[in-house]
Structure formats: structure tokens, C-alpha cells
């Protein structure tokens, strides 16, 4: 099947899927969970094949680790699907209800977006998570995974398609793409694809954003900051800086820049330097920082860099407003934290910061769908519209307006025969 | 001021405006309403100047009518602003609240989008409506109106800026652009502008969508349908078709295509033809229609055409599903209505139709922010994300996640020292 046909097939299925009952979608999810376990052998063998090829191609060890899909990973995705069954169906919820006039009732009802195009990195578990989130939310999906995982992805997609369709989910709702050319074709299909979710390097995400008319949900950079205010508890600040930087350096919600108020910098910087040294973190500081502790010197581009590594840039600021200004200028709108005992300083920081996740006295690493209690997430968005921060099921739905009348015409209101009541209705 | 500076100025102001109290914003709105009335003379004179120039340039009479801004129009926009003062501030609302753990509370709080770029047609009242909606929702705004209205727009913008800023609204929140080159520059400023709302011809809107990375809210086409089902009350159907087509032909929510179930076509088509003839509507029918009533013949492109004129295309279908398929194929996802006495047919139509507004037994012309009771609207969206259908204040806000802790770090949850409670909090 060519990509255009695949996209149109998914679109046609998505129309039916939008009207599919919750019970059928849940039956489909349970059937997928069961079939993944039944077909375990075939899936693990496919993954072995990918691993062997990737080792031959000298894939880097961290990538090999992401690619690996063993019985433990399988168990995790299956239990993820089972939790998804238990979640409330996000489709068909009345968001608002209003009587416009007697017998003329308006309902704003949640519905799926349509067809989601997802391009993801080499982790095969992402395929299962994303496709089942799309199914629960009633969306068709086009999936393109990393080429290293081609055999695993093919095995997983085959199981998901067969199991869900046998449970009554509309045929064609999931389409697997296999080549990079497929992705380039996909970017042009704004007639069939309603939303793109690219997951991967920031160069890749920027490429997608620059080359498609289809709306994109996701984030390119995660340049996260911790700001230690003059009123900070310095022990708390130290723990939070270490957690934000070091708990897992390779992820988008890890901190890349530390901002310190000048009033506490002389006391705080030696403290935090000691703790970060224990984690082998390289420090790059502004000139004022360099006057207080031994650091490499930070260049302008350091403030714009997502290291994803054991490196932290440090800047001393003269006020909370200077910290806010720095973050709004150099940050990526992802996640930024303030450490302070002063509630009004914290409020000012959280209100004036143009970021999706603004934290007070806690680690930037909490910015995550699971930790937020959203269930699984499709990604973290730094968009300013639709969905922001960790995006779960709610980000995969929109709404339609349903207006139910009994012969009403606008002419009657234009000539004053009738007037609108605009009375709230029970939802 | 060049456009880049203007956009950056609006961005800086928008950060302050996001944290501006409701009372200040409302004071600003009231000051604008008062000042527009006080400066009436200057505004009406500026409009006279535009009208004189446009008459000299032989602007078409309907455009002259839209350009005209007299005391009546001024009174209407002022009363619009006063209703806006009374509306609930859409910013700062807790959309969800959840305890993640003891002392670690997550709030999803509505906030402005940031800076909105609006490009609108020749009606000067649009400038007032849009800028005051942006102010109420805490957004900075870049405005570009029709060049025919240049003097009026300049006068209105000057009054709005002076009055709002004197009431304490952050300086620079509104920027007026004046040339077409300004618009092209604006499309590149994805660093400063968060959302574009183009209003105008579909060619123009498509141009914007094709030439910017900034998300676009709006609609290109309004190809709306009325489907008369086999179970329709034919008198009701006739009234609704006439209203949908004729009540105001030049607008996006007017019907362009009539679909009729084959079982009622022989009775219904002569009826509706008679009524539409009284409004001088040209009919263009499919071959089956032409076999029943005298019509011009419809070509494939008629199903794809937004006439905005006294023309209606007609197609006979064999089933509700064929009607749904036709609308999902040729429609623009704007507004489509079914006329039927059968509730399950109506539900099927409303569930399977991929349109923002799906109506049962009422006119497509109801698709409008004022009629929906949303207050004023910034436009009607056929997007599949963020906001759909008539977009009022709610479409100009998004949310941020605020997480308030007391020293919490992720390491404690990773090593099992602590576990998440994920307990709902009072909002």
C-alpha cells in the first residue's frame, strides 16, 4: 500500500472509530494485551533480529539498550494497556451545554482529532503505548519507528492490528510506515492527517515543523532552568539542583542552566559545586560565577544549549525579574523551577514565566505524564496552543458543536420574532 | 518601529499582561469604551477620509458598506466592549488540581496564549472587537487591517492604545501594522508570535497557512451542507434550506450544497425549488436531480465550491451514509445539518460527520459565536486542534502546569523511598 492510500485508509477508519463505543475500544485494548502475551515468542525473536543487525552495524550501547524489547518490557507495556482500559473514555464528554432558545440546544462534545501521524525513536515500546493511546481516544494512527527496530515494530503492529480488528475495531485504523521517504510523503498529507507528533532529536523535530502544514505537537528543545532565589533554603536548593541535573541527564526535563540570586551566590555556589562534583558535572559559569568558584567560562551559546549531558551552565542574577527575563529569552518554554521560601516571589515567577511547566521548590524532573498522574503520555508539548506540558489522552481529543433544533431558522431572530435565551443546561 | 521590534515589544508586554489583574484589564476595557465615544469626531472623520478615497478608487458597493464606520457602528462596538467587561476572566482558572504526594500539588491553570497576529478584512469594527477580546484574555496583539480602512484603523488603534495604557494596561500590548510587506514579515516571527488569526478570502487564508510556521486559527472555506433525510418533515426542511441558503448568502455558514434522500426527492425538490425561486437562487443539480426538476447541471467542482452567492448545488443520495460520505469528502468541516424526525439517524449523522458544527433540524446559519452565546468571536475555526467552530474568549487561552512542592526530588520516587498519591484536590 502506498502512503497516500495508507493515510486515506486510516482517515476512513478514523471516521468509524470516532463513533465506536467505549466497550468495543476497551475490548480491542484487552485483545491487544492478550495477543501481545500470546505472540511473545515471535515478538522477542523479531527483536533479537533487530539487535543482531544493530550490533553488526555498531549501534551505540545506549541505543541498543533502548532498542531491546524483552519479556520485562513486554510485561510493562501490557500492564500499561490494562491501566488504559480502566481510564475514562475521553470521547463523548459534554464540555458545555446551553439552551439557545426553547427546543434549540447546543452541546460541546469531546471527540477524537482524527488521524495522528507519529514518528518515534528506536524504542519499540513507544509503538505500543502510542497506538493504544490513539485507540482509546478514537484516533486513527500512522506510525513510523526507528529503522533499527523495523522487525520488532512490524511484529508488534501485526499483533495490534489483528487483535484489535478481531475485537471489532474498524479495520485500517493503524498503518505502519517503514521508510524515511514515507515520512517525507506523510508531511504533505494535510488532507488525511490532522496532527503530527514527532519524538526524537531537536534537529529532527525542527525539520518536521519546517516541512509540513500539518499541526505539530511536541517539543524541539528542553532547556530547563532552576533559579535559586535570595529567600531559598540552600540545603533544599542544593538537593533540587542535583536532582534536576543528575537524576537522569539524557532527558528533556533535566536542568541545563542554574540561575542564582547574587545575595546567596557566595554561600550557595561552593555548596552546590561540591555536590555536583560528586556526580562529575562540568560547570560553565558567567564571569560573576567564575569570581566565586572555579568553573569553565560560559559563552552566550551555553544559555541556548540543551546539553543532555553532565554539564551545567551557571549565571548569577541581581533579581527575580532578571531570572525571569533570562528564562523567557533563552529557555524553551519546557520546565523551569524557582527555589524560594517567599510565596509572593514564587507567584511572580510562576505568573511571568512563559513556560508550560512552572515549578516551586521541586525538581524539574517531575515534568512527566506518569508523575502528573495523567496515565501514559504521547509526549511533552512546548506549543502555545491545544496542549501544553505532558500530553496524555486529553491532548488527543478536540470537540464538536452539536446543535439540536426543531425547525429553527435564523431569520426569526434577525427580524425579532424570537430572541435567544442562552440558558445553561445540565451537561 | 520595524515589524520585528513591534513583535518583540508586544511579546514583552504580553508577559506582563498575562499577570495583569482582572480589575486592571476591565478598567482598560471601560477606558477604551469611554475614549471611543469621546473621540467620536476624529474617528468618524478618519472613516470619511477612507470612504472618499475608496469611492475615488471605485471600491465595490458591498465593500464600501463594510468599510463604513458611523455612529451606529461605534455604538455597537462600545456596547460590545461593555458586555466584555461583564464576562468572566478566562485567565487564572484552575482546570484541574491534583496532589502528587504530600506537600506536592499540581495545578493546571488557564493563561493567555501570548501574542496573537490578526489579519482582518476591511471592517474597522473588527479591529475593536479583536483587540478588546485579546485584552480581556491577556494577550498581546499585532493587527493588520484592510488598506482601504487605513485612516480609520489608525484612529481607532490610537484611541485604544492611549486609553488602555492610561488605565494601567502594559504599554506596547497592541501594535498596528500597515503594509502588506508587514504581513509577510509577521509570518516569519515564530519567536514572538504564538498564533495567527487570518480573516478574509480563502485564497488569502491558504496563503497564510502555506507561508508560516506559526499555528493558524481560522477557516479557508465554508462549504456547508443541508441533508434532507427520508424521515424529514418536508415543510421544516424547506424552511431550513431557504434560511441556510438565503438568510445571508455572503457568509461562511450559508449552505452551498443540498443533499436529498432519494425516497423524498420527488416530493421535496419541487417544493424547495419554488421557495428558492422566490429568492432568485440558481440551482445546479446532479443528473438524478435534473430528472426531477429543471436545473443547470452540476459539475464535480460544484461540490467543492463555496459560492457565497445565490447559487445552490443539489445532489440526490441513496442513504444517510452516502450523504455523510459526500460531506466528509467534499465539505470543509465547517457546518452541516441533517433534517430528520429519526433520532438515531440524526445521531449517526452527527457522530460520523467530521465537521466542527453538526446540526439537527435547524439552519446552518446558527453557527456563530454570538448566537452560541459565547460573546463576541474572533472567528470560526475548521482546525482539528485547539479550538473548533466559533471561537470566543476560550479559544484565546491555554494553560500552564504549576507544581508546588516543599523540596521534593524525583530520586526519592525512583528508588521507592516515596510513592505518588495522585489524589484529586479541590480546584
Cβ neighbours around A344 below 10 Å, total: 10
Give the integer Cα–Cα distance in Å for A156 and B226: 43
Query: What is the separation of C-alpha A333 from the centre of its chain, rounded to a whole number of angstroms?
Result: 13
Q: Is the Cβ pair A247, B411 closer than 8 Å?
A: yes
> Looking at the predicted structure, is the pLDDT value of residue A201 above 80?
no
**In contact, A182 and A144? CB cutoff 8 Å:** yes
Cβ neighbours around A171 below 10 Å, total: 13
Q: How confident is the model at residue A98 (pLDDT cuts 50, 70, 90)?
A: very high
List CB contacts of B52: < 8 A, sequence separation 6 or more: none
Q: Computed from CA positions of residues B375, B379, B382, B386, in that sequence, does the dihedral angle turn out positive or negative?
A: negative
Q: Is B269 helix (H, G, I), strand (E, B) or coil?
A: helix
Which pLDDT score, from 0 to 100, does residue A45 have?
98
DSSP B191: T
Q: How confident is the model at residue B359 (pLDDT cuts 50, 70, 90)?
A: very high
Q: Is the Cβ pair A401, B367 closer than 8 Å?
A: yes
Which pLDDT score, from 0 to 100, does residue B219 have?
81
CATH code for the part of the protein at A224-372:
3.40.309.10
Question: Across chain B, how many H-helices and E-strands are there?
Answer: 16, 17
Q: Is the Cβ pair B411, A359 closer than 8 Å?
A: no
Give the integer Cα–Cα distance in Å for B19 and A348: 8
Cβ under 8 Å to A: B residues 84-143: 98, 100, 104, 106, 113-114
Q: Which chain B residues are within 8 Å of A356, Cβ to Cβ?
A: 400-401
**In contact, B405 and B423? CB cutoff 8 Å:** no
Q: How far is CA B342 from CA A408, B70, B228, B232, B361, in A?
A: 17, 48, 12, 8, 11
- Mean pLDDT over the full length of chain B: 95
DSSP B4: H
List CB contacts of B133: < 8 A, sequence separation 6 or more: B84, B376, B378, B392, B393, B396
> Looking at the predicted structure, is the pLDDT value of residue A210 above 80?
yes
Q: Is the Cβ pair B407, A233 closer than 8 Å?
A: yes
> Looking at the predicted structure, is the pLDDT value of residue A88 above 90?
yes
For A222, what's the count of Cα atoms within 13 Å in the CB-facing half-sphere? 27
- Integer Rg of chain A from CA: 25
**pLDDT tens for residues A162-194?**
999 999 999 999 999 988 888 999 999 999 999
- Average of per-residue pLDDT across B14-35: 98
Q: Which chain A residues are within 8 Å of B106, Cβ to Cβ?
A: 372-373
Q: How far does A161 lie from chain B, in Å, by closest CA?
A: 22
Q: Is the Cβ pair A350, B402 closer than 8 Å?
A: yes
Q: Is the Cβ pair A361, B210 closer than 8 Å?
A: no
Q: How far is CA A270 from CA A196, A227, A267, A316, in A?
A: 45, 16, 6, 13
Residue of A nearest to B348 (CA): A19
**pLDDT tens for residues B196-205?**
999 877 788 8
> Looking at the predicted structure, is the pLDDT value of residue A200 above 80?
no
Give the integer Cα–Cα distance in Å for B84 and B133: 8
Which pLDDT score, from 0 to 100, does residue A209 have?
84
The 3-state secondary structure of chain A reads CCHHHHHHHHHHHHHHHHCCCHHHHHHHHHHHHHHHHHCHHHHHHHHHHHHHHHHHCCCCHHHHHHHCCCHHHHHHHHHHHHHHHHCCCCCCCEEEEEEEECCEEEEEEEEECCEEEEECCCCHHHHHHHHHHHHHCCCEEEEECCHHHHHHHHHHHHHHHHHHHHCCCCCCCEEEECCHHHHHHHCCCCCCCCEEEECCCHHHHHHHHHCCCCCECCCCCCCEEEEECCCCCHHHHHHHHHHHHHCCCCCCCCEEEEEEECCCHHHHHHHHHHHHHCCCCEEEECHHHHCCCCCEECCHHHHHCCCCCCEEEEEEECCHHHHHHHHHHHCCCCEEEEECCCHHHHHHHHHHCCCCEEEEEECHHHCCHHHHCCCCCCEEECCCCCCCEEECHHHHEEEEEEEEEEEECCHHHHCCCCCCCCEECCC
Which pLDDT score, from 0 to 100, does residue B201 have?
76
**pLDDT tens for residues B138-184?**
999 999 998 999 999 999 999 999 999 999 999 999 999 988 888 89
Q: Which of B300, B27, B50, B233 is nearest to B156 (CA)?
A: B50
> Looking at the predicted structure, is the pLDDT value of residue B54 above 80?
yes
> Looking at the predicted structure, is the pLDDT value of residue B127 above 90?
yes
Q: How far does B240 lie from chain A, in Å, by closest CA?
A: 6
**pLDDT tens for residues A307-356?**
999 999 999 999 999 999 999 999 999 999 999 999 999 999 999 999 99
- Average of per-residue pLDDT across B177-192: 90
Give the integer Cα–Cα distance in Å for A169 and B426: 37
Locus of grid cell 525473536: A45
**In contact, B252 and B377? CB cutoff 8 Å:** no
| Total residue count of chain A as it appears in this document | 427
* Partner residue opposite A409 with nearest CB, options B243, B372, B385: B243
DSSP B29-90: HHHHHHHHHHTHHHHHHHHHHHHHHHHHTT--HHHHHHH---HHHHHHHHHHHHHHHHSPP-
Which pLDDT score, from 0 to 100, does residue A427 have?
78
CA dihedral A68, A74, A75, A79 (to 10 degrees): 120
DSSP B93-133: -EEEEEEEETTEEEEEEEEE-SEEEEE--S-HHHHHHHHHH
Q: Is the Cβ pair B106, A403 closer than 8 Å?
A: no
Which pLDDT score, from 0 to 100, does residue B75 have?
96
**In contact, A331 and A352? CB cutoff 8 Å:** no
Q: How far does A97 lie from chain B, in Å, by closest CA?
A: 10
Which pLDDT score, from 0 to 100, does residue A204 have?
83
Phi/psi at B99 (5° precision): -80, 125
CA dihedral B388, B390, B394, B397 (to 10 degrees): 60
Q: Write down the domain spans for chain B.
A: 3-217+378-399, 224-368
Q: Is the Cβ pair B385, A100 closer than 8 Å?
A: no
Global pTM exceeds 0.90 = yes
Which pLDDT score, from 0 to 100, does residue A203 have?
83
Cβ under 8 Å to B: A residues 349-378: 350-352, 354-363, 365-367, 371-373
DSSP B218: S
Q: How far does A280 lie from chain B, in Å, by closest CA?
A: 17
Query: What is the separation of C-alpha B293 from the centre of its chain, rounded to a whole number of angstroms?
Result: 37
**In contact, B82 and B130? CB cutoff 8 Å:** no
Q: Is the Cβ pair B372, A243 closer than 8 Å?
A: no
Q: Which of B182, B224, B222 is nearest to B199 (CA)?
A: B222
Give the integer Cα–Cα distance in Å for B161 and A72: 62
Residue of B nearest to A208 (CA): B213
* Partner residue opposite B409 with nearest CB, options A243, A354, A372: A243
Residue of A nearest to B217 (CA): A385
* Angle, in degrees to the nearest 10, between helices B124-136 and B22-38: 160
Give the integer Cα–Cα distance in Å for B77 and A352: 31
Which pLDDT score, from 0 to 100, does residue A426 have?
87
**Pairing verdict, β A104-112 and A94-101:** antiparallel
Give the integer Cα–Cα distance in Å for A391 and B230: 43
Which pLDDT score, from 0 to 100, does residue A376 have?
80
Give the integer Cα–Cα distance in Å for B426 and B99: 10
> Looking at the predicted structure, is the pLDDT value of residue B232 above 80?
yes
Give the number of A-B residue pairs with CB atoms closer than 8 Å: 227
Q: Which of B53, B66, B77 is nearest to B160 (CA)?
A: B77
Which pLDDT score, from 0 to 100, does residue A379 have?
87
| Interface-testing mutation among A90, A403, A424, with chain B (most B C-beta atoms within 10 A) | A403
Q: Is the Cβ pair A366, B408 closer than 8 Å?
A: yes
Cβ under 8 Å to B: A residues 315-334: 328
Query: Which fold would CATH assign to domain B3-217+378-399?
Result: Aldehyde Dehydrogenase; Chain A, domain 1 (3.40.605)
Q: Which chain A residues are within 8 Å of B371, Cβ to Cβ?
A: 100, 410, 413, 420
List CB contacts of B5: < 8 A, sequence separation 6 or more: none
- Average of per-residue pLDDT across B200-214: 84
DSSP B345: H
Cell, residue B324? 455523510
The enclosing H or E element of B301 equals none
**pLDDT tens for residues A256-296?**
999 999 999 999 999 999 999 999 999 999 999 999 999 99
Q: Is the Cβ pair B400, A407 closer than 8 Å?
A: no
Q: Is the Cβ pair B404, A360 closer than 8 Å?
A: yes
Cell, residue A318? 541581581
**pLDDT tens for residues A224-248?**
999 999 999 999 999 999 999 999 9
Query: Looking at the complex, does the CB of residue A191 fall below 8 Å from at least one CB of chain B?
Result: no
**In contact, B281 and B312? CB cutoff 8 Å:** yes
Q: Which of A180-189, A200-209, B226-235, B386-395 has the lowest mean pLDDT?
A: A200-209
- Average of per-residue pLDDT across B284-289: 98
**Pairing verdict, β A104-112 and A397-408:** antiparallel
Give the integer Cα–Cα distance in Å for A142 and B100: 33
Which pLDDT score, from 0 to 100, does residue A375 have?
81
> Looking at the predicted structure, is the pLDDT value of residue A42 above 80?
yes
* Partner residue opposite A113 with nearest CB, options B195, B362, B385: B385
Q: How far does B187 lie from chain A, in Å, by closest CA?
A: 13
Query: Looking at the complex, does the CB of residue B403 fall below 8 Å from at least one CB of chain A?
Result: yes
**Pairing verdict, β A282-285 and A296-297:** parallel
Give the integer Cα–Cα distance in Å for B110 and B183: 29
Q: How confident is the model at residue A219 (pLDDT cuts 50, 70, 90)?
A: confident
Give the integer Cα–Cα distance in Å for B315 and B287: 8
| CATH entry 3.40.50.11540 includes domain A3-217+392-399 | no
Q: How far does A176 lie from chain B, in Å, by closest CA?
A: 22
Q: Which chain A residues are within 8 Å of B407, Cβ to Cβ?
A: 233, 236, 239-240, 361-362
Q: How confident is the model at residue A368 (pLDDT cuts 50, 70, 90)?
A: very high
> Looking at the predicted structure, is the pLDDT value of residue B207 above 90?
no
> Looking at the predicted structure, is the pLDDT value of residue A220 above 80?
no
Q: Is B378 helix (H, G, I), strand (E, B) or coil?
A: coil
Q: Is the Cβ pair B217, A420 closer than 8 Å?
A: no
Q: Which chain B residues are within 8 Å of A106, Cβ to Cβ?
A: 372-373
**Pairing verdict, β B335-339 and B357-362:** parallel
Cβ under 8 Å to B: A residues 194-233: 194-195, 209-210, 213, 215, 217, 233
What is the separation, in whole angstroms, between the first and last Cα of chain A? Answer: 44
Which pLDDT score, from 0 to 100, does residue A122 have?
74
Query: Which fold would CATH assign to domain B224-368?
Result: Aldehyde Dehydrogenase; Chain A, domain 2 (3.40.309)
- Mean pLDDT over the full length of chain A: 95
> Looking at the predicted structure, is the pLDDT value of residue B378 above 80?
yes
Amino acid at each position: 500500500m502506498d502512503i497516500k492510500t495508507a493515510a486515506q485508509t486510516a482517515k476512513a477508519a478514523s471516521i468509524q472509530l470516532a463513533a465506536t463505543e467505549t466497550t468495543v475500544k476497551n475490548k480491542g485494548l484487552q485483545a491487544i494485551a492478550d495477543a501481545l502475551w500470546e505472540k511473545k515468542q515471535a515478538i522477542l525473536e523479531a527483536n533479537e533480529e533487530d539487535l543482531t543487525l544493530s550490533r553488526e552495524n555498531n549501534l551505540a550501547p545506549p541505543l541498543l539498550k533502548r532498542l531491546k524489547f524483552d519479556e520485562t518490557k513486554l510485561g510493562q507495556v501490557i500492564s500499561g494497556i490494562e491501566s488504559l482500559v480502566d481510564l475514562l473514555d475521553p470521547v463523548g464528554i459534554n464540555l458545555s451545554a446551553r439552551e439557545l432558545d426553547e427546543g434549540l440546544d447546543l452541546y460541546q462534545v469531546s471527540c477524537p482529532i482524527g488521524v495522528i501521524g507519529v514518528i518515534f525513536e528506536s524504542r519499540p515500546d513507544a509503538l505500543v503505548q502510542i497506538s493504544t493511546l490513539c485507540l482509546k481516544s478514537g484516533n486513527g494512527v500512522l506510525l513510523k519507528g526507528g529503522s533499527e527496530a523495523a522487525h520488532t515494530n512490524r511484529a508488534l503492529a501485526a499483533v495490534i492490528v489483528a487483535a484489535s480488528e478481531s475485537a471489532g475495531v474498524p479495520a485500517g485504523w493503524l498503518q505502519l510506515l517503514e521508510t524515511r521517504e514515507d515520512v517525507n510523503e506523510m508531511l504533505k498529507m494535510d488532507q488525511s492527517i490532522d496532527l503530527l507528533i514527532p519524538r526524537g532529536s531537536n534537529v529532527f523535530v525542527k525539520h518536521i515543523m519546517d516541512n509540513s502544514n500539518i499541526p505539530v505537537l511536541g517539543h524541539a528543545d528542553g532547556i530547563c532552568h532552576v533559579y535559586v532565589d535570595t529567600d531559598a533554603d540552600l540545603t533544599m536548593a542544593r538537593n533540587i539542583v542535583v536532582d534536576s541535573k543528575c537524576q537522569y541527564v539524557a532527558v528533556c526535563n533535566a536542568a541545563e542552566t542554574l540561575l542564582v540570586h547574587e545575595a546567596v551566590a557566595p554561600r550557595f555556589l561552593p555548596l552546590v559545586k561540591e555536590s555536583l562534583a560528586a556526580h562529575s558535572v562540568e560547570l560553565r559559569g558567567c564571569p560573576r560565577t567564575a569570581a566565586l568558584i572555579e568553573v569553565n567560562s560560559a559563552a552566550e551559546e551555553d544559555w541556548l544549549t540543551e546539553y543532555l549531558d553532565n554539564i551545567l551552565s551557571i549565571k548569577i542574577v541581581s533579581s527575580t525579574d532578571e531570572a525571569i527575563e533570562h528564562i523567557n529569552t533563552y529557555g524553551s518554554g519546557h520546565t523551569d523551577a524557582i527555589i524560594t521560601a517567599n510565596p509572593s516571589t514564587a507567584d511572580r515567577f510562576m505568573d511571568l514565566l512563559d513556560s508550560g511547566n512552572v515549578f516551586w521548590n521541586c525538581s524539574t524532573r517531575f515534568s512527566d505524564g506518569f508523575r502528573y498522574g495523567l496515565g501514559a503520555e504521547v509526549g511533552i508539548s512546548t506549543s502555545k496552543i491545544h496542549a501544553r506540558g505532558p500530553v496524555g489522552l486529553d491532548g488527543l481529543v478536540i470537540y464538536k458543536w452539536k446543535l439540536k433544533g426543531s425547525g429553527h431558522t435564523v431569520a426569526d431572530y434577525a427580524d425579532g420574532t424570537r430572541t435567544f435565551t442562552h440558558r445553561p443546561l445540565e451537561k
